[in-house]
């Protein structure tokens, strides 16, 4: 135990372990710490990272996985063999697959060992231990920990015995605690945690045996070795009893000083070893225990508190910090935990920028033996912390933060602590990321809920079977009590059938459905039903009853007003025809009269269009469906406009569809729509231009296309040209008259046939209007 310790410290044996599976390299590294602290272990998760880590200094031993993304094991060995700092003296290649030609390549590169996965960490540790010995290097012996004075509790009711024993023990350098009876002995043991107890048997209040039984049944002090002090007259049976109930040894009075001290030393030595094992066990258990506890938590504050508290307590640290970087910025949230509440412990953190940069670069933890002599973790001179270990926490997207522990004792943290903390940080990072993700989702959910709760529109969600999953307060108001139950489909014959049909269509087709639905209470809703990718459908119902009513009022007004106008216009037209019959007109009179007639004709057209639209809107225009031959219908229109086209010096061609398609439609209304399109094409195409009216059978039915090479429509106007009264004003058409209702009528007629109308146009080059009608 008291071997002389060499004062010249040999350079550590540098070992690099590379495996793309993040835990494998660290597990191997942890196992290798058994080889002693005279080794320095680097771990990397890829060949590229390994090369980066060793860019300024080579390694003595290289253990690498073969199959990794990027640089593979053999390539890495080859690159390391060319390292300017010298090739590794020993290389091992670990492989899980029988890669063809691997053995041959390994031999060529003089790889010392090709190992097959899975390989136990202990076995790896043995192989590396042997390799180090073969190299003629030996890891430095375990550093002797700075010895603290050991405490021994002497419990005896005889003060002369206590005085004598105290003297022996203090002379040996032990701290001596005393107790006069069994009860007191227990109290002091619990309060001061001695390293050993010398326990007299015969004592007042509580005798030695009783006290021993209590010590062994109290987990906090059960591990303390107890040597029974016995009188020579004690029966051997009593001694057996004492050993049976947990005494570690016994000494008979009067004592032989040397024998007593030798027995104490033996017990303390055993305890020291047991303590180390207990501590290691505690440390080893920390990882799986924390893993279990972390996986059950989703609150970031709770998680960080748990990681900090458990690591600080288990590693016996003075204090710890959990520094969590905020995802979108340089600021960070700092959690702190200390076992010592003394105000002497400063709570400010030194600047972290350099450490964060180093962690980002190396991905490795940093061990600082004495922060008072190391600028990386500057502390004030009265700071009790000396040893510091700084562990980066990496998530999937980068550095999440740092875990930092500090201890009063210089050099307290060793490589194995660093590796254990790195593994813990790995788990903590996963837990923190999950928690961040969860809180993000929870926030999102809250926002969605707020939107749902406060939306004026009714929002209903249905599953793929059409059962109601969710409805917002506006949705609840749509139904009478008990009519819409969560988990059940909406009932038929309650007055919602049009809505149920739309829902069934959306679920069956997987396509969004829209429609206007009249509710049993006469309200009108514009409904949009959108299927959800994950299954089911969301329905939004917007109450448009007010607009419907306004529209009705507007239609009635327009109808009344336009009827009045129409009568007046008829009169004006009639009068303008009669005036020339009253006598000859001079030139000016004839011109003015011509203007009046023209204006009246324009006005009449406008009034007719307005009446037509009002009638369509009010549903007063009856659509008489019959079989219509589209080729015949379109060619008739082309024929009808030939004269007008010729007068405008335009060519108007017709191209029929193959197979004479027929559709169910109102022939008169369709003709009206086509007339509007063709007359527009004639109006907006300058002389010498050409117009093509064609019919084509298409997937959805029949399309009728009116294409011209006229003035075209500017891009900005395109979205609005089907709106009522919208006219595009530009240089090319500024002199062309119109009321902006023609296309609105086309759209209304086409939509009444469940069809669609589109336009493609380039300003200055021409336009193409396409009407698609279902077969
Ligand atoms: P109007 O033709 O009476 O102005 P429309 O509703 O028929 O009203 O058309 C709206 C606008 O769309 C027109 O003012 C015109 O600017 C544009 N437009 C329609 N058809 C064409 C076309 N074939 N070529 C160029 N512009 C057109």
Query: Residues near 480 by Cβ (< 8 Å), separated by ≥ 6?
Result: none
Distance between CA atoms of residues 620 and 14, nearest Å: 93
Whole-angstrom Cα distance, residue 661 to residue 118?
72
Tokens of 31: 């196992």
Which amino acid residue places its CA nearest to atom 19 of ligand 1? Answer: 680
Instruction: Give 60's contacts (C-beta < 8 A, 6+ positions apart).
Output: 13, 14, 15, 88, 89, 90, 135, 137
Examine the pLDDT at 128 and tell me if it is beyond 80: yes
Mean pLDDT of 750-763: 93
Which residue did the predictor score with more confidence, 491 or 138? 491
What's the N-to-C CA distance of the chain in angstroms? Answer: 100
Parallel/antiparallel/unpaired status of strands 175-179 and 196-200: unpaired
Distance of CA 663 from the midpoint of ligand 1 (Å):
27
Relative to the CA of 681, which ligand 1 atom is closest?
23
Cβ neighbour number for residue 759 with a 10 Å cutoff: 16
Locate the ligand 1 atom nearest the alpha carbon of residue 712 and give its number: 25
Q: Is the CB of 742 under 6 A from ligand 1?
A: yes
The answer, yes or no, to whether residue 131 has pLDDT greater than 80, is yes
Judge whether residue 687 has pLDDT over 50. Answer: yes
Question: Percent of the chain, pLDDT > 70?
Answer: 93
- Report CA(640)–ligand 1 centroid distance (Å): 20
Cβ of 689 less than 6 Å from ligand 1: no
Output the pLDDT for position 430: 87
Measure 678 CA to ligand 1 centroid, in angstroms. Answer: 11
- In the 8-state DSSP scheme, what is residue 205? S
Q: How far is the CA of 743 from the centre of ligand 1 (A)?
A: 7
Q: Residues 412-461: pLDDT tens digits?
A: 898 888 888 988 898 888 888 888 888 889 899 999 999 999 999 999 99
Tell me, in angstroms, the distance from the centre of ligand 1 to residue 727's CA: 6
Distance 728 CA to ligand 1 centre (A): 7
Nearest residue by C-alpha to atom 20 in ligand 1: 680
* Ligand 1 site-directed mutation target among 727, 732, 758, 762, most atoms within 8 Å of CB: 727
Edge-to-edge strand ranges of the sheet holding 537-543? 468-471, 458-462, 537-543, 524-531, 513-518
Best residue among 710, 721, 741, 765 to mutate for probing ligand 1, ranked by most atoms within 8 Å of CB: 721
pLDDT surpassing 70 at residue 142:
no
Query: Is the distance from the beta carbon of residue 673 to the nearest atom of ligand 1 less than 6 Å?
Result: no
- Which of 32-36, 145-149, 483-487 shows the lowest per-residue confidence on average (mean pLDDT)? 145-149
**Cβ atoms within 10 Å of 262's Cβ, excluding its own:** 11
Dihedral angle at the C-alpha atoms of 368, 370, 371, 374, nearest 10 degrees?
Answer: -80
Report the percent of the chain where pLDDT is more than 90: 36
pLDDT tens profile 317-369: 888 999 888 766 556 788 888 876 655 566 677 777 888 888 888 888 889 99
Distance of CA 177 to the CA centre of its chain: 58
Reading the block at residue 586, the tokens are: 């001079």
* pLDDT band at residue 176 using 50, 70 and 90 as cut-offs: very high
In angstroms, the Cα distances linking 376 to 361, 404, 589 are 15, 13, 103
- Give the tokens for residue 693: 């009216």
Could you tell me if 517 and 524 are in contact, meaning their C-beta atoms sit under 8 angstroms apart?
yes
Give the model's pLDDT for residue 347: 61
Going by C-beta distance under 8 Å and a sequence separation of 6 or more, which residues neighbour residue 163?
Answer: none
Residues in Cβ contact with 556 at an 8 Å cutoff, skipping those fewer than 6 apart: 618
If you average pLDDT over every residue of the chain, what do you get?
86
Average pLDDT over residues 374-397: 86
Main-chain dihedrals φ then ψ at residue 739, nearest 5 degrees: -120, -5
Q: What is the pLDDT of residue 147?
A: 46
Minimal CA–CA distance to 418: which of 42, 711, 103, 20? 42
Is 6 a residue whose pLDDT tops 50?
A: no
Q: Cα 596 to chain center, whole Å?
A: 72
Question: Considering only CA atoms, which residue is closest to atom 7 of ligand 1?
Answer: 742
Q: Which atom of ligand 1 is nearest to the CA of 729?
A: 16
Residue among 645, 716, 742 whose CB has most ligand 1 atoms within 8 A, to mutate: 742
Which atom of ligand 1 approaches the CA of 766 most closely? 24
> pLDDT value at position 351?
78
Q: What is the pLDDT of residue 40?
A: 82
Question: What is the secondary structure of 620-674 as a DSSP string?
Answer: -S----EEEEHHHHHHHHHHHHHHHHHHTT-EEEEEPPTT--EEEE-HHHHHHHH
Encode pLDDT of 83-100 as tens digits. Answer: 888 899 999 999 887 777
Q: What angle do CA 183, 189, 195 make, to 5 degrees?
A: 145
Can you name the residues that pair with 335 across neighbouring β-strands?
322
Q: Is 143 a residue whose pLDDT tops 50?
A: no
Could you give the CA distance from residue 451 to residue 183 in angstroms, rounded to a whole number? Answer: 67
Residue-wise pLDDT for 274-295, tens only, equals 888 887 787 778 888 888 888 8
Q: Mean pLDDT across the stretch 491-497? A: 83
Least confident of 46-50, 120-124, 187-191, 200-204: 120-124
Which of 437, 413, 423 lies closest to 392, judged by CA? 423
The answer to whether the CB of 677 is under 6 A from ligand 1 is no
Model pLDDT for residues 585-617, shown as the tens digit of each residue: 899 988 998 888 888 888 888 888 888 887 777
What does the CA dihedral 334, 339, 340, 343 come to, rounded to 10 degrees? Answer: 20
Looking at the predicted structure, is the pLDDT value of residue 145 above 50? Answer: no
Closest ligand 1 atom to residue 706 Cα is: 23
Tell me the pLDDT tens digit for each residue of 178-196.
999 999 999 999 998 999 9
Q: DSSP E strands: which ranges in 75-148? A: 90-95, 113-116
The pLDDT tens digits of the residues spanning 201-223 come to 888 889 889 999 999 999 889 98
Q: 765: CA distance to ligand 1 center in Å?
A: 14
User: Across residues 677-681, what is the average pLDDT?
Assistant: 96
684 lines ligand 1 (CB under 6 A): yes
pLDDT score, position 358: 83
CA 103/CA 120 separation, integer angstroms? 21
Would you say the CB of residue 740 lies under 6 angstroms from ligand 1?
A: yes
The finding on whether 681 has its CB within 6 A of some atom of ligand 1 is: yes
Say how many C-beta atoms besides its own lie within 10 A of residue 409's C-beta. 15
> What pLDDT score was predicted for residue 181?
92
- When pLDDT is averaged across residues 477-484 and rounded to a whole number, the result is 82
Q: Is the pLDDT of residue 300 over 90?
A: no
- Confidence at 636, pLDDT banded by 50, 70, 90: very high
Q: Does 139 have pLDDT greater than 80?
A: no
Atom of ligand 1 nearest to the CA of 739: 3
Highest average pLDDT, of 288-292, 390-394, 705-709, 713-717, comes from 705-709
Structure tokens given for 491: 């009932």
Q: What is the mean pLDDT of residues 619-629?
A: 79
Which of 641, 713, 735 is the best mutation target for the ligand 1 pocket, counting ligand atoms within 8 Å of the beta carbon and taking the most? 713
Sorted by sequence, the CB contacts under 8 Å of residue 28 that are 6+ apart come out as 17, 19, 43, 63, 121, 124, 125
* Ligand 1 proximity of 728 Cβ (cutoff 6 Å): yes
Whether residue 739 has its Cβ less than 6 Å from ligand 1: yes
- State the DSSP H helix or E strand holding residue 393, giving kind and residue range, or none if neither: strand 387-395
Q: Is the pLDDT of residue 3 over 60?
A: no
713 lines ligand 1 (CB under 6 A): yes
Q: Give which of 362, 426, 367, 436 is closest to 394, Cα–Cα.
A: 426
Q: Is the pLDDT of residue 232 over 70?
A: no
What are 270-273's contacts with CB under 8 Å, separation 24+?
A: 270/225, 271/195, 271/196, 271/223, 271/224, 271/225
The Cα diameter of the chain in Å comes to 163
- Say yes or no: CB of residue 708 within 6 Å of ligand 1: yes
Ligand 1, atom nearest to 722 Cα: 6
| Among candidate residues 80, 74, 71, 120, the one with its CA nearest the CA of residue 93 | 74
Q: Can you tell me the mean pLDDT for 1-28? A: 67
- What are the beta bridge partners of residue 62? 16, 91
140 falls in which pLDDT band (50, 70, 90)? very low
Label each residue of 729-753 as H, E or C. CCCCCCCCCCCCCHHHHHHHHHHHC
**CA-728 nearest atom, ligand 1:** 16
Residues 6 or more apart whose Cβ sits within 8 Å of residue 268: 150, 195, 196, 225
Q: pTM above 0.75?
A: no
Supply the residue whose CA is at minimum distance from atom 11 of ligand 1: 727
Ligand 1 centroid to residue 305 C-alpha, Å = 70
Mean pLDDT of the 487-505 span: 88
- Which residue minimizes the CA distance to atom 16 of ligand 1? 728
Give the Å distance between the CA of 725 and the centre of ligand 1.
10
pLDDT of residue 298: 83
Q: How many alpha carbons fall within 13 Å on the CB side of residue 438?
A: 12
- pLDDT of 618 above 80: no
Structure tokens at 550: 């306004």
Angle formed at CA 252 by CA 246 and CA 255, multiple of 5 degrees: 125
């Amino acid at each position: 135990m008291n071997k002389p310790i060499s004062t010249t410290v040999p350079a550590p044996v540098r070992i690099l372990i590379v495996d793309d599976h993040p835990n494998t390299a660290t597990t191997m590294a942890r196992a290798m710490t058994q080889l002693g602290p005279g080794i320095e272990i680097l771990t990397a998760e890829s060949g590229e990272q390994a090369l980066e880590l060793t860019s300024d200094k080579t390694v003595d031993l290289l253990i690498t996985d073969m199959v990794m993304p990027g640089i593979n094991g053999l390539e890495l060995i080859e690159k390391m063999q060319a390292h300017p700092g010298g090739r590794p003296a020993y290389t091992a290649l670990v492989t899980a697959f029988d890669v063809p030609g691997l053995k041959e390549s390994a031999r060529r590169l003089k790889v010392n060992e090709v190992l097959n996965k899975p390989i136990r960490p202990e076995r790896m540790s043995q192989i590396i231990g042997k390799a180090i010995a073969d190299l003629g290097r030996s890891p430095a012996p375990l550093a002797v920990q700075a010895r603290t004075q050991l405490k021994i509790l002497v419990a005896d009711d005889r003060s002369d015995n206590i005085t004598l024993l105290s003297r022996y023990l203090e002379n040996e350098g032990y701290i001596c605690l005393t107790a006069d009876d069994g009860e007191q002995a227990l109290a002091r043991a619990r309060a001061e945690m001695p390293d050993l107890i010398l326990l007299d048997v015969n004592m007042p209040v509580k005798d030695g045996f009783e006290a021993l039984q209590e010590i062994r049944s109290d987990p906090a002090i059960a591990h303390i070795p107890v040597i029974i002090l016995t009188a020579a007259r004690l029966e051997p049976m009593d001694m057996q009893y004492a050993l049976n109930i947990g005494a570690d040894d016994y000494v008979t009075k009067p004592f032989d000083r040397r024998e007593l001290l030798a027995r104490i030393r033996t017990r303390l030595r055993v305890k020291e070893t047991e303590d180390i094992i207990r501590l290691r066990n505690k440390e080893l258990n920390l990882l799986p225990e924390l893993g279990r506890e972390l996986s059950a938590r989703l609150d970031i504050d709770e998680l960080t508190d748990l990681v900090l508290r458990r690591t600080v307590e288990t590693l016996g640290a003075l204090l710890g910090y959990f520094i969590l970087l905020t995802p979108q910025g340089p600021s960070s949230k700092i959690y702190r935990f200390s076992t010592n509440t003394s105000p002497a412990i400063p709570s400010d953190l030194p600047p972290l920028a350099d450490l964060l940069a180093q962690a980002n670069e190396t991905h490795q933890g940093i061990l600082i033996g004495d922060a008072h002599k190391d600028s990386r973790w500057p502390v004030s001179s009265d700071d009790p912390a000396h040893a510091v270990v700084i562990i980066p926490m990496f998530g999937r997207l980068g550095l999440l933060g740092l875990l930092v522990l500090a201890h009063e004792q210089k050099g307290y943290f060793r490589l194995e602590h660093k590796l254990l903390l790195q593994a813990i940080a790995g788990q903590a990072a996963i837990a923190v990321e999950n928690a961040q993700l969860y809180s993000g989702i929870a926030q999102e959910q809250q926002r969605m809920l707020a939107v749902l709760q406060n939306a004026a529109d009714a929002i209903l969600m249905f599953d793929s079977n059409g059962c109601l999953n969710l409805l917002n307060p506006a949705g609840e108001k749509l139904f009478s009590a008990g009519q819409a139950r969560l988990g059940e489909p909406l009932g038929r014959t309650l007055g919602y059938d049009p809505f149920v049909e739309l829902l069934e269509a959306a679920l069956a087709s997987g396509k969004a459905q829209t429609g206007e639905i009249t509710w049993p209470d006469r309200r009108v809703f514009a409904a949009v039903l959108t299927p959800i990718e994950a299954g089911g459908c969301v329905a939004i119902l917007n109450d448009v009853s007010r607009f419907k009513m306004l529209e009705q009022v507007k239609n009635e007004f327009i109808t009344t007003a336009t009827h009045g106008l129409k009568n007046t216009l008829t009169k004006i037209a009639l009068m303008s025809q009669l005036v020339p019959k009253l006598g000859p007109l001079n030139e000016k009179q004839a011109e003015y009269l011509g203007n009046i007639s023209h204006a009246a004709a324009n006005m009449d057209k406008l009034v007719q269009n307005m009446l037509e639209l009002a009638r369509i809107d009010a549903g007063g225009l009856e659509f008489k469906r019959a079989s219509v031959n589209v080729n015949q219908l379109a060619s008739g229109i082309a024929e009808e406009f030939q004269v007008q086209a010729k007068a405008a010096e335009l060519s108007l061609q017709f191209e029929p569809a193959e197979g004479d398609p027929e559709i169910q439609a109102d022939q008169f209304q369709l003709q009206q729509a086509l007339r509007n399109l063709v007359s527009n094409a004639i109006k907006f195409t300058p002389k010498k231009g050409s117009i093509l009216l064609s019919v084509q059978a298409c997937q959805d039915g029949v399309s009728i296309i009116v294409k011209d090479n006229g003035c075209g429509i500017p891009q900005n106007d395109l979205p609005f040209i089907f709106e009522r009264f919208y006219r595009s004003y530009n240089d090319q058409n500024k002199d062309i008259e119109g009321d902006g209702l023609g296309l609105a009528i086309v759209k209304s007629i086409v939509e009444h046939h469940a069809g669609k109308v589109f336009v493609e146009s380039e300003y200055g080059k021409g336009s193409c209007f396409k009407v698609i009608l279902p077969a």
